[in-house]
Each structure stands twice: as C-alpha cells, then as structure tokens.
Amino acid sequence: MTGDFPRHRLTVVSGPSGVGKSSVVGELRRLRPDIFYSVSVTTRKPRPGEVDGVHYHFIDRAAFDAMVAKGELLEHAEFTGNCYGTPRAAVERALAEGRPAVLEIELQGARQVRAAMPQARLVMLMPPSWEELVGRLTGRGTEAEAAVQARLAEAERELAAAGEFDERLVNAEVRTAAEQLLDLIVGKDS
C-alpha cells in the first residue's frame, strides 16, 4: 500500500470496461451499506428497470450544462452523445459528516477528481490478465466485433494509465476484490 491516507475520504474506483467495477462496488455496498455511494447525473434516458435517484439522476441537457457552468460537478464527460457527471455537493456533504465516499467512474473522470480533490485515493481495478479481460468482453456476446475491438483498444489505453493511481487491485474474484477495497477505504480495524 502506498502512504498513509486519512480515513473518511473519497475513494475513486476506475478500470477498463469488463474488469468488474460494478460487480465489485456492488459487493462493497452489500458489505458496508453505510459508505456513501455517489449517484451520477446523466442526460440519457432511463433504461428499463432504472429508477431516478437510485441508478442515476436523469436530467436534460440544459440542466446538465447549468450544473457544469456553476461548478456543481466534481467530474463530467460526454459519451456517445450523453453526458454523465458526479454532483459535488452530495460527496462533500458525506465527507463533512465523516463518512467515506466511493465513486465508480471512468479514467477521464478519475483524472478530473484528482485535480479537484488531490487528497482523493484513486484505485485502478485490474483484470487478472489481458487474456481474461478479452474473454470477459468477447464472452458477453452483446456487441458487434467492431464495438468489442473499440472497447479493447480503450482498455489498453486505460490500463496504461495504472501508474497514475494510488492503488491497483486485481479482480480475480469479486468478493475478494471488494474486501480488499473495503480494507483500503476503512482499514482492517473497522
């Protein structure tokens, strides 16, 4: 582990598509529901089963642009014509209350958080091997070959940035990775 980090601070979990970020953070939430988990805002339409305020805060583009202009987002990005961002106030409120907070975001967002809150701990979730990641992405069977190749190229770029992160955790098994992440957030004595 690198350095001494204060408890009750922001932890950013990032990693390439297919590495299991959502699964690991989901297991972390099951293990410690008292940790604050940020709900992002997005301009995209809800998918079937998604609930506003639970999965995302669904807003229109004008509202999103206003949040950016007012500095209300810790980080934000646009993907495939939709905007995504992390509301700053809720994260700062949780941290002020002494609650550790977790963000699950992409590399671009992690870099923005590092610039906005240098004391945040950045954790890169890594696959056990490149072959395993390729298998996870191609095994989904839900995307065209060109889309899979684009995701693999992006994954290579993201993994090359691992040195920018304070910690790197290998997700060989979800429960183990979630327990290791929990230890980074609250320590073994909690």
Could you please state the CATH topology (level 3) that the domain comprising 10-186 is classified under: Rossmann fold (3.40.50)
Residue 79 three-state SS: strand
In DSSP terms, 125 is beta-bridged to 169
pTM of the model: 0.86
Contact by Cβ (8 Å): 74, 112: yes
pLDDT, residue 170, reads: 96
Domain boundaries defined on the chain = 10-186
Q: Which residue has the tokens 């183990």?
A: 176
pLDDT, residue 138, reads: 81
In DSSP terms, 37 is beta-bridged to 102
Contact by Cβ (8 Å): 89, 135: no
pLDDT per residue as tens digits for the range 86-120: 999 999 999 999 899 999 998 999 999 999 999 99
Comparing 84 with 140, which gets the higher pLDDT?
84
pLDDT exceeds cutoff 60 at 3 = no
Rounded-to-integer distance, Cα 82 and Cα 59, Å: 11
Mean of per-residue pLDDT scores for the chain: 89
pLDDT exceeds cutoff 90 at 142 = no
Residues belonging to the chain: 190
